[in-house]
């Protein structure tokens, strides 16, 4: 597959066209943003770690019946994926209270839920990704009722697979964000990334944070946390 012109540059990735209209190449950057874009920085080695970890997890999910956009890893930073139009919803699953959930409801972090929660944010930078429930999404034609139900079932399935997998590495999956995309024929697949940028990971023994919260909260040890997650996954 031949890499052609850049078609998009986001906060953490660039996307390139290829010689086949059904595929694009994503290229992961070391750039990091947080706090609604206010905080900017770089995390050395992050691009390669997020690329490799995402691809490993996408393959694991495919094996467990979750359709994804993954096609082929090209090198440390670049991967061929199916071209999708992203459903403009950030789908957030939580197993344990943290982050904006803890803040919104005035509770401490670390409360283990009896069953996972799901919420949607409308992907819109100007509006700062407002919370959106399924009725809002249907009213605004962001997705149909059937698509929302399907996305919800896939998201909970992803949670079951990933929760069990990470626990086997001594890591608690606290919460994470997913994005879904539509292929040309309307099929919905899991897209975007699954990495320490988009998941909260706590060490199962010590509750040490092994994710982007170390960057968001200026805790130090950011690169080491990403490297530690890389070692847990790839040995």
Specify which residues 200 forms β-bridges with. Answer: 175
Instruction: List the structure tokens of 127.
Output: 């509006």
Distance, CA of 77 to chain centre: 16
Q: Rule CB under 6 A: is residue 92 a binding residue for ligand UDP?
A: yes
Q: Which residue is nearest to ligand UDP (CB)?
A: 99
Let me know: does 213 contact 219? Beta carbons within 8 Å. yes
Q: Rule CB under 6 A: is residue 198 a binding residue for ligand UDP?
A: yes
Name the minimum Å distance from CB 213 to ligand UDP: 7
Let me know: does 231 contact 199? Beta carbons within 8 Å. no
**CA dist 9 → 1, 14, 28, 198 (Å):** 20, 4, 10, 18
Binding window for ligand UDP (CB under 6 A); candidates: 17-25, 38-46, 92-100, 221-229: 92-100
**CA dist 21 → 3, 67, 116 (Å):** 11, 20, 38
Residue count, binding to ligand UDP (CB under 6 A): 14
Q: Rule CB under 6 A: is residue 199 a binding residue for ligand UDP?
A: yes
Q: Of 155, 204, 181, 165, nearest to 57 (Cα)?
A: 165
User: Residue 159 or 187: which CB sits closer to ligand UDP?
Assistant: 159
Q: Rule CB under 6 A: is residue 100 a binding residue for ligand UDP?
A: yes
Q: Of 114-173, which residues contact ligand UDP (CB under 6 A)?
A: 129
Name the minimum Å distance from CB 79 to ligand UDP: 18
Binding marks (x or -) toward ligand UDP, 45..84, rule CB under 6 A?
A: ----------------------------------------
Instruction: List the structure tokens of 226.
Output: 């990403």
Q: Of 212-231, which residues contact ligand UDP (CB under 6 A)?
A: 212
Give the number of other Cβ atoms within 10 Å of residue 160's Cβ: 11
Q: Rule CB under 6 A: is residue 193 a binding residue for ligand UDP?
A: no
Q: Which residues bind ligand UDP (CB under 6 A)?
A: 90, 92, 98-101, 129, 175-177, 198-200, 212
């Amino acid at each position: 597959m031949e890499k052609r012109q850049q078609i998009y540059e986001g906060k953490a990735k660039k996307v390139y066209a290829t010689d086949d209209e059904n595929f694009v190449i994503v290229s992961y950057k070391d750039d990091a943003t947080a706090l609604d874009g206010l905080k900017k920085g770089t995390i050395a080695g992050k691009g390669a770690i997020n690329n490799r970890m995402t691809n490993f997890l996408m393959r694991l999910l495919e094996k467990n019946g979750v359709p994804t956009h993954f096609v082929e890893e090209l090198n440390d930073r670049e991967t061929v994926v199916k071209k999708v139009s992203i459903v403009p919803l950030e789908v957030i699953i939580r197993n344990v209270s943290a982050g904006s959930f803890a803040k919104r409801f005035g509770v401490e972090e670390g409360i283990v839920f009896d069953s996972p929660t799901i919420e949607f944010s409308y992907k819109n930078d100007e509006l700062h990704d407002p919370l959106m429930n399924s009725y809002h999404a249907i009213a605004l034609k962001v997705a149909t009722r059937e698509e929302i139900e399907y996305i919800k079932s896939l998201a909970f399935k992803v949670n079951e697979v990933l929760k069990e997998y990470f626990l086997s590495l001594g890591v608690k999956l606290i919460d994470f964000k997913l994005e879904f995309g539509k292929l040309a024929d309307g099929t919905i697949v899991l897209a975007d990334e699954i990495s320490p940028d988009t998941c909260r990971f706590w060490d199962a023994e010590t509750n040490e944070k092994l994710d982007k919260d170390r960057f968001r909260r200026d805790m130090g040890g950011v690169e080491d946390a990403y490297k530690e997650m890389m070692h847990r996954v790839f040995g």
